[in-house]
Amino acid sequence: MISTKLQDAINAQINAEFWSAYLYLSMAMHFENEGHAGMANWFRIQFREEQAHAEIFMNYLNSRGGRVVLAPIDEVPTSWPTPLAAFEHTLAHEEKVTSLINNIYALAVEEKDYATCNKLDWFVSEQVEEEETARGLIDRLKLIGDNGLALYTVNQELASRTYNVPAPLANAN
């Protein structure tokens, strides 16, 4: 059985993951509207991944005899001045999510709840990847500046991204 304190922290994280999903869906809709179909595709996949993250936490809480409580999802921004601004927002947001995960980890260590530490390990690695990807795209967009052809190429590349079910969900059944 999981402690009430950890249960509350994981419920807050479930909400944060759904907020992330909502944020990236909003970015996808923004880029769709702006005619950047590749970026829209990339953020649609981000959206699905974040939903999967929430699902992993929900499954975990249930498996530990906890109670999942779905709270309202706060409003998200709806537009970004440039693609660079959207990816900079993505990085800043992922850095925040990393600190949230780290805080739950610290709590789990304090409570000697090693099963929760074990579950969080995947998220710790995932956050390194999320930040690295966003940082890489920011670097490229900064180099590109307002070069339309280079921006077109990045868009084409992001259009080819496909969704892979995250490992903890893929192995769940």
Residues that bind Mg ion (CB under 5 A): 17, 50, 53
Pick the closer one to Mg ion by CB: 36 or 53: 53
Question: Encoding tokens for residue 57?
Answer: 């936490």
Q: Name the maximum alpha-carbon separation found in the chain.
A: 56
Angle value at C-alpha 56, between 53 and 61, nearest 5 degrees: 130
Please report how close the Cβ of residue 132 comes to Mg ion at its closest, in angstroms: 14
Check if the beta carbon of residue 26 is closer than 8 Å to that of residue 46: no
The region that residue 79 occupies, defined by phi over 0 for left and psi between -120 and 50 for alpha, beta otherwise, is beta
Pick the closer one to Mg ion by CB: 48 or 64: 48
Please report how close the Cβ of residue 94 comes to Mg ion at its closest, in angstroms: 8
Pick the closer one to Mg ion by CB: 19 or 80: 19
Pick the closer one to Mg ion by CB: 64 or 93: 93
Please, what's the b/e burial string for 85-123 (b: 16 or more CB within 10 A of its CB; e: otherwise)? ebbbebbebbeebbebbeebbebbeeeebeebbebbeeb
One-letter amino acid for residue 134 of the chain: A
Pick the closer one to Mg ion by CB: 66 or 166: 166
Residues in the chain: 173
Residue nearest to Mg ion (CB): 53
Residue 93: CA count within 13 A, CB half-sphere: 23
Please report how close the Cβ of residue 45 comes to Mg ion at its closest, in angstroms: 12
Please report how close the Cβ of residue 134 comes to Mg ion at its closest, in angstroms: 12
Please report how close the Cβ of residue 149 comes to Mg ion at its closest, in angstroms: 33
